Amino acid sequence: MSLAQIQEAPEKGLILLAGPPGAGKSTFCHQVVLNSLAAYRPVIFVTTERSALDVVTLLREKGLGEPLPDGLRLVDAFSETVGLMPTQRSDTLHANYADLNSLSISITKVQAGTGRRGNLLVLDSLTSPYLFHGAEVVRFTQLFLSKFAAEGNAVLALMDEGCGKEEDLVAMMSAADGILRLDIEENSRVLNVVKHPAVEPTQIKVPMTGSPVIPYQFNVERLAQHMQMTMGLMAGPPLRAEVGDSVNLFWPNFARWSCMLWGPQRFPMMTYSSNKQMESDMREFIKLLPWHTRVLLRLMPKDFSSVQDMKRILSFLGRVAEGDRTGIGEYLESASKTNEHYLRVYESDMCWGFENVGAALYLGILGGFAGVLKGFERDRGGPDRDWNIVETRCVGLGDPYCEFKMVPGEIDELQDSLEAIDSTVIKRIYGRLMDRLMGFMLHGKPLWDRPRLGNEISLHQFGHIVVLPAIVSERYRMAMRLGGAMGGKEVGQHLMNAGMQADEAVQRVMHLLEHCKVGKVSMDETIRMRENCESFAMRSEQPSCFFTTGFLNGLFSTVKKQRVREVKCIAVGDPYCEWEIV
């Protein structure tokens, strides 16, 4: 049995393709689409995790010609959901999967337009709708998708394993006529045909694929100036003249855990890798530091194997952490040894307020610190080796502080640490976030407060948590969009459950954004935000307010049944960010 045979869709039936994030499910379904179009079979492609234009681009990279075949119709259920400007195309309908009826109606309209049965419906994927609706998507699969297949069509639906309750995935599988599972095994992808209406169970190796180019970058000059001021290396007015150069700690934590709602099994590893990749190359940034700081860095050791050498570099990085207000660090000299170092942190910006929730919480953010160690060693002429860091103690586990192990090389427990968060922990954390949010919005209580470091962090640290990983990862940008939409929906529902009217709820949220120093907000027929922390230090050819746009769209779609889309952005050179309300 060959892979090509499996990628020929059956005449009818519901096929569920499951597997962990990054296993290659989308790549597999793109080839199924191309094979079906080559056989003159009409295809309805529903996309929930990227725009229709992005899907078309990916299909063209794999050989789809121009113009598009008449047999291809698209339902873009992504753009409206996250507040992007939908691309108007004659071959595309738009839906908002925050409303499953909208999705069903759009698919039905497209099917009616084909004028025939025997269509192939590809849904990439069910994961994001599931994270919005939970068991309602199981019913959508059992009722709508099964009925669509029973009417003489084929359905290929993708679903990430580990994103929700195991019993829900089992229920979806029980409704399917075929089950395919993709997995990653020793740098290979393995396709397991569990059951299929046309072929016997089998296992097939699937080659790996690459990642797309990312068209975003930091404004390095602005970032260097900001860091020099936070470290006390230079004086001057804040870069954000109206709101200042710090952000309330609630906002990055809210953004981070909203994205965790989207993908608890994929988001931490994605964050770790993205931060590590970005921070490992600091040469352009270092060139912009004052001459005395560059001299100090040149005097640093070429590698950090020994306790004394690690202590020296941590004394410098401690000044950065102090300026960023990320935590109060203490190098554990007595516990450390050559090539194995331990660092303790009090009042951690990642864990404060989440005491004893049942998991270590730093997760992927440590990748940036590992990248700094790697980059400093390499750029100083030392060894080019891969540092890794794992959290060994955490406030989230009930400890009075957080503690980290740092080694040049692999850490056996790192993978397990990055995959330790489950839905129960996320709900517990999100419950605390919502309790704080409602306490502030309804009763004027403080959002966040630490005894020594206060309730804010620097723009630089905010960038590590929210902005930086989006530069090197398309999937992270998607997580920010979808996590923002889910977060906005949650806030809107909590305000409405508290008895608040729609207009008042929106005004309270605008006040929240200003209080958190996200930016300076004004609202009339549009929403404008000056000095938006998400795009302030960015350069791009496209709007880069991934989380903010998703959040506003999730809020407005919940409380006012409206959508928002970003039409101006600081990152592309506009004086402010602006969103239309439609």
Residue 45 phi, psi dihedral angles, 5° rounding: -105, 115
Q: Residue type at 68? A: L
Angle at 306 between CA 304 and CA 309, to 5 degrees: 55
Residue with tokens 């921070």: 279
The three-point CA angle 9-10-14 to 5° equals: 90
Q: What is the pLDDT of residue 163?
A: 75
**Mean pLDDT of the 304-309 span:** 94
Q: What confidence score (pLDDT) does residue 380 get?
A: 80
pLDDT tens figures, 121-165:
999 989 989 988 889 999 999 999 999 999 999 999 999 887 778
Looking up tokens 């909590």, which residue turns up?
494
Query: Given pLDDT bands bounded at 50, 70 and 90, which one contains residue 187?
Result: low
pLDDT value of residue 457: 93
Average pLDDT of the chain is 86
* pLDDT classification of 283: cutoffs 50, 70, 90: low
Q: Which residue has the higher pLDDT, 292 or 77?
A: 77
- Quote the pLDDT of residue 323: 82
Q: Which two tokens stand for residue 309?
A: 């050498």
Higher pLDDT, 68 or 314: 314
Q: Is residue 230 predicted with pLDDT exceeding 50?
A: yes
Which residues, in sequence order, are CB contacts of 563 under 8 Å at separation 6+? Answer: 80, 83, 96, 553, 556, 557, 581, 582
Q: Identify the pLDDT of residue 198.
A: 83
Q: What is the pLDDT of residues 476-488, one digit of tens each?
A: 787 788 788 889 9
- Answer yes or no: is pLDDT of 514 > 50: yes
Which of 57-66, 372-381, 400-409 reaches the highest mean pLDDT? 400-409
> Is 117 a residue whose pLDDT tops 90?
no
Convert the pLDDT of each residue in 36-83 to its tens digit.
887 778 899 999 988 898 898 888 887 776 667 778 999 999 988 888
DSSP secondary structure string for all residues of 525-565: SEEEEET-TTTTTEEESS---HHHHHHHHHHHHHHTS--EE
Q: Does the pLDDT of residue 393 top 70, yes or no?
A: yes
180 falls in which pLDDT band (50, 70, 90)?
very high
Q: Residue 488's closest CA among 558, 582, 404, 393? A: 558
Mean pLDDT score, 182-210 = 79
Domains of the chain: 3-206 (3.40.50.300)
